[in-house]
Structure 1
Amino acid sequence: MSQSLDRGLEILKSLLSAPKTVDEIAADLDVHATTAFRLLKVLEEHRFVKKMENRQFCLGPAFLGLSSTFMGNNILIEVARPFMVRLNYRTMQAVHLAVFDAGEAMYIDKLEAKHGFRTHSRIGLSAPMHASAIAKVILAYLKKRERDALVESINYERFTPATIHTREAMRADINRTRENGYATEVGEQEPYMNAIALPILDPAGRLLAGLSVSAPAPVMPFSDLLELLDDVTLTCKDIASELLSRDQP
């Protein structure tokens, strides 16, 4: 299995330069043509490669979709990082950046708090849609059809007694988030951890990402955390403005 995976990745790297025939790919990998063809068929089934009319294979939509997502997130991280550093310095608390990806809220950047407490979040992993402030704000600002579908499909696992565990409560939280313009997390994922999160929106009001500040209750009571809303709001606006300026010719 590991050898097949290795060869599959070698095929994708080979096709980065140009479309190729089965024989050309087999020569690149130093394998028999039947082996190369078998690997290509698997990649084609998953849309990572595509067979062209001239019998050559090229990179497929699944690979190109991953590439565009990666590049888009890289630009977002590059733009957001200086503003996240500023927010982290002002608040002294953990700052997270997340995007909606394949039905989940995925962390793409994080700055730890200046004190000794550490959050359990990890870059590249997802946040629970019903228990994390940053995931809840992303959920609230999705298109209605996506939002409604996710509310139905979420596994409402109870991490703490405060965790949202019904669809009705989730819908009420979404309405409250959209009305307030921010989401909250009060001991819903970890008993001692609180957070606030706001959306980063484009000029048309479409969701780009979510930004949150998290603080353990012993360090900062939730009432004090709410006083950081203006700073987080400004940070989201600055990130959105800088992203827009990058798109200008």
Structure 2
Amino acid sequence: MVSGSTPAPRTRAGDEPGRPGPQPEAAPGASEKTLLVLEAAMAHGRFTDVVEATGLAKATTHRILATLIERQFVAVAADGTYLPGPKILSLAGQAMARIDITAIAQPFVDELVEKTHCTVHVGVKNGDEIVYLIRADSDKPYLMPSRVGLAIPLHTSGIGKVVLGGFTDQGLERFVERVGLPRRTANTITTLDGLRAEVAEVRRLGYALDREENVPGVACVAAPIYDTTHTVTYGISISTLTLEHSIDQIEAMAPLAVEAAQKISAALGHTG
């Protein structure tokens, strides 16, 4: 070493000129902290669990919770657990009232038509029937015998079956007592035992098939669309002619129907 020289400073990764090292993560601001506490209080209920979920100090969490309770975004039950307050319930109701399922679902429907080259429907439960909200046609030279606003029985359609998959056993029995399972084609399920077995299969698979049970020569595969309460009110289906696709080929498209249904469910706020 040359006399009088000073040793060069030791460098660390990221200390090279023009190459900044890792930056510390910014602490959440006041608004973000409030949202973190509100979300945790809705998901957990106990103060210690809220603190753990947010990663904030107990004093900070307690102060924010006190404000949320005062402003009626959070309520406290008799046992001390946190519940949604009147203000957040009112806001949630207003938001749900403004949801337009057709506008939310349409991009995913169009994507599914592009992938399958089949007709895609979105339907909603209305009493003991399914009503079509969307029908998007493919590039095929024929059209499905369906239309927006058409009502069809739950037990004869793929979308209806995924809705029935969310029924309890008692609810399924009451449904059969009400409607009587009228026959639409030679393949329609017309007995309670048959419907029970079909619904059990829908629950196991996560999708449903319509094997020419509503219209002769037309079949589909359908998947459930969940809302924020994990309720199946809507469904999406891929429909085609059995002259063009076998039932096995239609069932092979089930993952695409399930994927589209999951995307729509997430867009509706479902997180399960």
Give the number of the structure whose residues are more often helix, by fraction.
Answer: 1
Residue matched to 1:86:
111
Q: Which amino acid aligns with 2:187?
A: A
Runs of 4+ in 1 over 6 A off after TM superposition: none
Report if the CA contact (8 A) 1:141-1:199 is conserved.
Answer: no
Asked if residue 209 in structure 1 is aligned to residue 226 in structure 2, the reply is: no
Q: State the Cα distance separating 1:204 from its structure 2 match.
A: 4.9
2:207/2:258 contact within 8 Å kept: no
User: What corresponds to 2:268 in structure 1?
Assistant: 243
Identify unmatched segments of 5+ residues in structure 1.
1-67
In the alignment, does 2:161 pair up with 1:136? Answer: yes
Of the three residues 110, 114, 126, the one matched with 2:151 is 126
Cα distance, 1:73–1:119 mapped onto 2, change above 3 Å: farther
Residue deviations 1:63-103 (CA, integer Å, cap 9, x gap): xxxxx9xx859611110000000001110101011111223
Which one-letter code corresponds to 1:135 in the other structure?
A: G
Change (3 A) 1:165 1:103: closer
Identity of aligned residues (%): 26
For 2:145, the aligned partner's letter is: H
Tell me the distance in 1 between the aligned counterparts of 2:144 and 2:241.
Answer: 9
Instruction: State the 1:148 CA deviation.
Output: 3.1
Cα 1:112–1:206 shift into 2, 3 Å: same
Structure 2 Cα separation of the partners of residues 73 and 180 of structure 1: 32
Q: For 1:103 and 1:191, how far apart are their aligned partners in 2?
A: 22
The reply on whether 1:223 has 2:254 as its aligned counterpart is no
User: What is the match of residue 205 of structure 2?
Assistant: 180
Partner of 1:101: 126
- RMSD of equivalent CA atoms: 2.3
1:203 CA drift (Å): 5.4
Q: Which runs of 5+ in 2 are unaligned?
A: 1-92
TM-score by length of 1: 0.65
Residues 1:73 and 1:160: Cα distance change in structure 2 (over 3 Å)? farther
Q: Is 1:114 aligned with 2:139?
A: yes
TM norm structure 2? 0.60
Cα distance in 1 between the residues matched to 2:247 and 2:126: 29
The code of the aligned residue for 1:214 comes to: S
Aligned partners of 1:240, 1:208: CA distance in 2, in Å?
A: 11
Distance verdict in 2 for CA 1:73–1:200, change over 3 Å: farther
Residues in 1 aligned to 2:198 and 2:220: alpha-carbon distance in whole angstroms: 15
